[in-house]
Chains A and B, each alone.
Chain A
């Protein structure tokens, strides 16, 4: 154990050399730590992204085919323009939805059926700008607005807590309770806080809405919960009160079906299946098709697209960080080896003395290694203090670049063929596309915010990892330098 004592003495007495080594080692470790921090942060962000998007598959009507059919029917249209009715998407049969729900791997499922309705006993939130209501006719869908759009959106579901709007934090329940399985056969609803305040409504009150297709059909709804929405939409969309987030009323999907009319009994717009294992998404689709799902009429969409979109910049950052770690490690080995080789040359007299005393070469090398360890421990401390700062600076820089490119990509995706991506982007929306359309406006900015959340912190795990890297670098450079020690002849050194 004498070599440990010697290492300690030598480190202490030769302060200048020790400080120099410590600074060099610290610089190397700071870069490695910065790389590790960014790498870990991007891994964490990827994990969060997969959690927030969840492992879900959405069953809905095959929209592409629906559009094709409407194209064919265009010639039949007397007025030579698309008949809005031809856009009507035939709903999903409940029986089929239930069949898929019984498959393996399905952790939970949520039936979605949405429609618009007119506020009867209360006032929907409307845009104050009166003149703009004229403009709405010139917008795409304006005709739809005139004929079908009511004041409020009835977003039918089988449970609010598994809806993406609630899981991703856009909507937060602030009073009362959410809707669950037990509310399916009730007229219980959850409304937005602005709507509640404007009409002086609270939990326990009842409201009335009428169907947009049949003015005779009025339903009394009981408010069981109030939520707060942070969703933002385009101001032009705000002018249509149905699209105003505050006018979304969450109800049982059966309530939505009733408002839509008799034809819609035992149907849903879409079903969101949450799987137990995210890796099973493709398997689920295959199994469903093997079980005889009519792929012409229905389509199954996994949430991969959105997940991948969020993933790309994070993976780029992670890859880059990994390369930094590797590169700096190699550079560190080279630099430290050179320094240690020079140090060994400078100290060859000392080595000769030890060898003449019959000290083993391995112990001489061990002494240098221990000296390096002492330096390493101090260097880890220095790196730990400053690495967080460096990691922050580099991480922000990288993300600023990465997110700007992704936002562009996301925007381009939206303009992609058939606009299907718009629906795919937010599969849980459903409801004749009203809600999907609205959410799409927010989706690309949402991707950006999610990635801005790179969590730059130093955990014990990272420090341990850093220690591992430092140890490796110290070890390799000592091994390289020790070749010199192995070849040293005490006679040549000591007798000149």
Chain B
């Protein structure tokens, strides 16, 4: 469902290009892990496939259509959900409102958005009481779970996450990665997770390692 074609990117000059032109395909219903050393260009890659930045060379094709054609805003709105290391929730809202707002912004087809969001939050261990509190009053692990539920509740078929467990302890990390797994397998979404933790990567269906400017299939 997502094709990367001759993709390349550089920040200042072409000589410092981050990749040898990348060609990759990601499929629905699978959980992908991208490993790589610090500074290898993982986050940059994610921003390109998430429609947060435009490639310097090559193209990102979603369901056979270049995301440039779809339009970056439209692509982010309808096709992709992003989970950040720093959660990135709206600070003046409760967990529930964050999710319902995101569903409204992305025009989710879900009928009773509030009930659905509450049910999904309940599934990840966030009670209604917690869900109605201002989101800033939740713990890091709880906020990350809210951010993931936000991605789950939106209709986008592609979910990308940049070190979603970076700020969490081992126990929480495991729970989070299991959530992503369910998201891929139960909802038939394509989930791409960037991580540097091997334990996390092991849970994924496919592992890609970014090394020497190329993506190598590890698993």
Chain A positions within 8 Å of B, measured between CB atoms, are 2, 5-6, 9-10, 13-14, 349-350, 352-361, 489-491, 494-495
Shortest beta-carbon distance, B79 to chain A, in Å?
9
A358 and B105 within 8 A (CB): yes
Instruction: Say whether B88 contacts A356, CB under 8 Å.
Output: yes
* B177 sits at the interface (CB 8 A): no
Docked Cα-Cα span, A278 to B30, in Å, equals 87
Q: What 9 additional pairs, Cβ within 8 angstroms, besides A349-B91, A490-B52, A495-B43?
A: A6-B90, A9-B93, A13-B92, A353-B89, A354-B90, A358-B76, A359-B77, A359-B105, A491-B53
A494 touches B91 (CB 8 A): no
Cα-based distance from A353 to B81 in the complex (angstroms): 11
Q: Sorted from nearest, which 5 A-B pairs have the closest CB atoms?
A: A358-B77, A358-B76, A13-B92, A491-B52, A2-B104
* Residues of chain B with a CB closer than 8 A to A349's CB: 88, 91
Picked from A6, A352, A359, the residue with its CB within 8 Å of the CB of B88 is: A352
Interface residues on B, range: 20 to 34
**Least CB distance, B47 to chain A, in whole angstroms:** 5
Give complex CA distance A358, B105 in Å.
7
Whether B101 pairs with A356 at a CB distance below 8 angstroms is no
- Bound-state CA distance A107–B77 (Å) is 72
In the complex the two chains form, what is the Cα distance from A491 to B53 in whole Å? Answer: 7
24 example contacts (A-B, Cβ-Cβ < 8 A) are as follows: A2-B104, A5-B101, A6-B93, A9-B92, A9-B97, A13-B93, A14-B92, A350-B91, A353-B89, A354-B90, A355-B76, A356-B52, A356-B82, A357-B102, A357-B106, A358-B75, A358-B77, A359-B77, A489-B53, A494-B82, A494-B84, A494-B86, A495-B43, A495-B162
State in angstroms the CA–CA spacing of A171 and B206 once bound together: 104
| Given A349-B88, A491-B47, A494-B84, A356-B76 contact (CB < 8 Å) | yes
Q: Is the CB of A495 within 8 A of B106?
A: no
A38 → B minimal CB distance (Å): 40
Residues of B within 8 A of A360 (CB): 73
Chain A's nearest CB lies how many Å from the CB of B209?
21
Note all chain B residues with C-beta closer than 8 A to A350.
90-92
Q: Are A6 and B101 in contact (CB under 8 A)?
A: yes
| CB of B78 within 8 Å of the partner chain | yes
Q: Is the CB of A2 within 8 A of B47?
A: no
Interface flag for B134 (CB, 8 Å)? yes
Name B98's closest neighbour in chain A (CB-CB): A353
> Are B134 and A2 in contact, CB atoms less than 8 angstroms apart?
no
Q: Which residues of B contact A491 (CB under 8 A)?
A: 47, 52-53
Separation of A6 and B105 alpha carbons in the complex (Å): 11
1/0 contact string of B94-138 vs chain A (CB within 8 Å): 000100011011100000000000000000000000000010000
Does A10 contact B92, Cβ atoms closer than 8 Å?
yes
CA distance A258 to B82 in the complex (A): 105
Q: Does B88 contact A358, Cβ atoms closer than 8 Å?
A: no
Contact A357 B77 (CB under 8 A): yes
Q: Which of A2, A358, A494 has most chain B Cβ within 10 Å?
A: A358
Please state if B92 and A357 are interface contacts (CB–CB under 8 Å): no
Which A residues touch B105, using CB under 8 A?
2, 354, 357-359
What is the bound-complex CA distance between A109 and B45, given in angstroms? 92
B34 to chain A, nearest CB (A): 15
Closest chain-A Cβ to B12's Cβ sits at a distance in Å of 15
Q: Would you call B52 and A494 a contact (CB within 8 A)?
A: yes
B167 contacts across to A, CB distance below 8 A: none
Say whether, besides A350-B90, A357-B102, A495-B52, A13 and B134 are in contact (CB < 8 Å). yes
Q: Which residues of B contact A6 (CB under 8 A)?
A: 90, 93, 101
Instruction: Give complex CA distance A353, B84 in Å.
Output: 10
- With A353-B88, A494-B84, A495-B47 known to touch, is A358 a contact of B74 (CB < 8 Å)? yes
Instruction: Contact check, B78 vs A358: say whether CB atoms are below 8 A apart.
Output: yes
User: Measured between alpha carbons, how far is A349 from B97 in the docked complex, in Å?
Assistant: 17
**B104: nearest residue on chain A (CB-CB)?**
A2
B134 in contact with A358 (CB, 8 Å)? no
Contacts of A356 in B (CB 8 A): 50, 52, 76, 82, 84, 88
Report A-chain residues with C-beta under 8 Å of the C-beta of B84.
356, 494-495
* Bound CA–CA A2/B77 (angstroms): 14
Q: Which residues of the partner chain B approach A10 to less than 8 Å between Cβ atoms?
A: 92
Q: Once bound together, how far apart are the Cα atoms of A6 and B162, in whole Å?
A: 26
| Chain A proximity of B194: nearest CB distance (Å) | 11
Minimal Cβ-Cβ distance residue in B for A5: B101
Chain A min CB distance to B156 (Å): 9
How far does the Cβ of B92 sit from chain A's closest Cβ, in whole Å? 4
Closest Cβ of chain B: how far from A156's Cβ, in Å? Answer: 81
Assembled-state Cα–Cα distance A369/B101 (Å): 18
Which B residue sits closest to A356, measured CB to CB? B82
CB of A357 to closest CB in B, whole Å: 5
Identify which of A5, A9, A358 contacts B106 (C-beta below 8 A): A358
- Residues on A with C-beta less than 8 A from B50 are 356
- Residues of chain B with a CB closer than 8 A to A353's CB: 88-90
Minimum distance in angstroms from A496 CB to a CB of chain B: 8
A495 to B161 CA separation, bound complex (whole angstroms): 12
Chain B residues positioned under 8 Å from A495 (CB to CB): 43, 47, 52, 84, 162
Contact residues in A for B76 (Cβ distance below 8 Å): 355-358
In the bound complex, CA of A12 to CA of B106 (Å): 24
Nearest residue, chain B, Cβ from A6: B101
* Cβ–Cβ < 8 Å partners of B97 in chain A: 9
A369 CB, nearest partner CB in chain B, Å:
17
Closest beta carbon of chain B to A428's beta carbon, Å:
71
CA–CA, A114 and B9, complex, Å: 102
The residues of B that contact A490 with a CB separation of less than 8 Å are 52
Q: With the chains together, A354 CA to B43 CA distance in Å?
A: 19
Chain B residues in 8 Å Cβ range of A13 = 92-93, 134
CB neighbours of B86 from chain A (8 A): 494
- Rounded to whole angstroms, the CA-CA distance of A490 and B84 in the bound complex is 12
Q: State how many angstroms separate the Cβ of A157 from the closest Cβ of chain B.
A: 76
Residues of B within 8 A of A358 (CB): 73-78, 105-106
Bound complex: CA A359 to CA B97 (Å): 16
B104 neighbours in A (Cβ, 8 Å): 2
Contacts of B106 in A (CB 8 A): 357-358
